[in-house]
């Protein structure tokens, strides 16, 4: 059986440089829906058709679930009543469903159809982005174009991440993403520039030019935010791009710390500093922390260690990873002590890894006692009138 896609009521409004048809084509291609037909009657008797109104913006989760549920009609929920905007039906029912969605008939619908809303079809917890974010289904008009672009951009952000990525980068990253869209710059091109900056920062650190190196490093971390957001809002990500980006993220921090330490040879600290001990502490701590995260995600809870309890989500804001450690290096340099900045990185990396290892041990104990772990996000009521501080901090609440 082949699933075909068919668009009705297309909108001329482009969001992040894409027509809605192009956005839907890119999104559905990720779900292996690649057949598009202009005439639903051309589908084979055993096929099904995914009808989509092109004047609505769909959350990816809704499209994925709708594509897997033949016999379903998707409706909006509004104060003035529900509107049917999409359906996945057998080809034999194509004619009556198309007329129903366009409003050109009041004929009886097949009794086997079920009706769904965004709330019933899509999960509120977005596991990939580690946040509570109710799925959206919004009309596309010229008047709400800016609002929709902001919604797409904010929706591309992880709920649980470090404090710089969460609170400092969003506004300038949105401006930079708009620039990339206007200039036709791709996510992989941004990632490639990030790699260049990794090497530039490393070279500057090695030669003792710590301030210039930090400028290059901070710019790289900013572009690391931009490339991911650009990929999501333009639906232009790939397996290679994902691997390329994460490989740089994984390798660059300890590489920088090593070159920073070697660069201290051109600077004369006021106190003795065992460089080898510091670097070993950083490397062992970094690897131990990453292993704790990977083991927790692979064996205990697929959302990851930072989504187990609110404490873990708070700790992710300051965990001894790249951005918090760059804050320590920057603070040390501003104080005139780049050696103490590196020492702070070593101590905080070790402390973070001890914390994560402790949480991993507690996770295994809890798993042995209860049989499974459950992310605290799954117990959040997104409609709660008095959300906790953690819910306000880590969820994307929508009215």
Catalogue the E-assigned strands of 23-119.
35-36, 48-53, 56-58, 72-76, 83-90, 114-116
- Edge-first strand listing for the sheet containing 114-116: 35-36, 3-8, 48-53, 83-90, 72-76, 114-116
CB neighbours of residue 241 within 10 Å? 18
CATH of domain 156-393: 1.20.120.1760
Tell me the pLDDT of the chain (399 aa) as tens digits: 899 999 999 999 999 999 999 999 999 999 999 999 999 888 998 999 999 999 999 999 999 999 999 999 999 977 667 889 999 999 999 989 998 898 876 667 888 899 999 999 998 888 788 788 889 999 999 999 999 999 999 988 888 999 999 999 999 999 999 999 999 999 999 999 999 999 999 999 999 999 999 999 999 999 999 999 999 999 998 889 889 999 999 999 999 999 999 999 877 665 556 888 899 999 999 999 999 999 999 999 999 999 999 999 999 999 999 999 999 999 999 999 999 999 999 999 999 999 999 999 999 999 999 999 999 999 988 777 888 999 888 876 543
Judge residue 268's burial from the number of C-beta atoms within 10 Å of its C-beta, 0-12 exposed, 13-18 middle, 19 or more buried.
exposed
Topology classification of domain 3-125: Spore Coat Polysaccharide Biosynthesis Protein SpsA; Chain A (3.90.550)
Spans of all domains in the chain: 3-125, 156-393
The sign of the dihedral angle between the CA atoms of 206, 209, 210, 216 is negative
Contacts of residue 232, defined as CB under 8 A and 6 or more positions apart, other chains included, come to 152, 155, 156
């Amino acid at each position: 059986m082949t699933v075909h896609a068919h668009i009705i009521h297309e909108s001329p409004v482009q969001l992040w440089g894409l027509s809605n048809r192009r956005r839907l084509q890119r999104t559905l291609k990720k779900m292996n829906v690649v057949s598009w037909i202009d005439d639903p009657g051309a589908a084979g008797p055993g096929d099904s058709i995914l009808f989509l109104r092109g004047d609505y913006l769909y959350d990816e989760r809704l499209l994925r679930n709708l594509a897997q549920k033949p016999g379903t009609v998707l409706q909006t929920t509004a104060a003035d009543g529900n509107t049917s905007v999409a359906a996945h039906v057998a080809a034999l029912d194509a004619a009556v469903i198309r007329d129903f969605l366009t409003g050109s008939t009041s004929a009886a619908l097949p009794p086997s159809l079920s009706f769904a809303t965004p709330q019933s079809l899509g999960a509120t917890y977005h596991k990939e982005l580690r946040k509570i974010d109710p799925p959206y289904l919004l009309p596309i008009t010229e008047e709400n174009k800016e609002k929709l672009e902001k919604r797409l951009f904010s929706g591309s952000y992880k709920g649980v991440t470090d404090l710089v990525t969460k609170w400092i980068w969003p506004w300038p990253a949105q401006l930079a993403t708009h620039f990339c869209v206007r200039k036709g710059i791709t996510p992989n091109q941004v990632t490639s520039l990030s790699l260049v900056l990794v090497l530039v920062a490393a070279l500057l650190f090695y030669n003792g030019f710590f301030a210039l190196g930090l400028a290059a490093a901070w710019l790289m971390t900013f572009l690391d935010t931009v490339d991911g957001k650009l990929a999501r809002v333009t639906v232009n990500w790939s397996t290679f791009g994902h691997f390329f980006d994460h490989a740089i993220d994984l390798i660059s921090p300890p590489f920088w710390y090593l070159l920073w330490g070697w660069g201290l040879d051109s600077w004369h600290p006021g106190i003795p500093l065992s460089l080898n001990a510091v670097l070993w502490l950083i490397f062992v701590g970094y690897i131990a922390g990453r292993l704790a995260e990977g083991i927790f995600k692979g064996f205990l809870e697929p959302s990851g260690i930072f989504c187990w309890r609110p404490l873990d989500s708070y700790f992710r804001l300051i965990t001894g990873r790249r951005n918090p450690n760059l804050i320590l290096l920057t603070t040390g340099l501003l104080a005139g002590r780049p050696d103490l900045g590196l020492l702070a990185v070593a101590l905080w990396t070790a402390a973070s890894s001890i914390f994560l290892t402790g949480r991993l041990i507690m996770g295994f104990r809890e798993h042995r006692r209860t049989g499974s772990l459950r992310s605290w996000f799954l117990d959040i009521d997104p409609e709660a009138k008095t959300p906790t501080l953690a819910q306000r901090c880590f969820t994307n609440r929508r009215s």
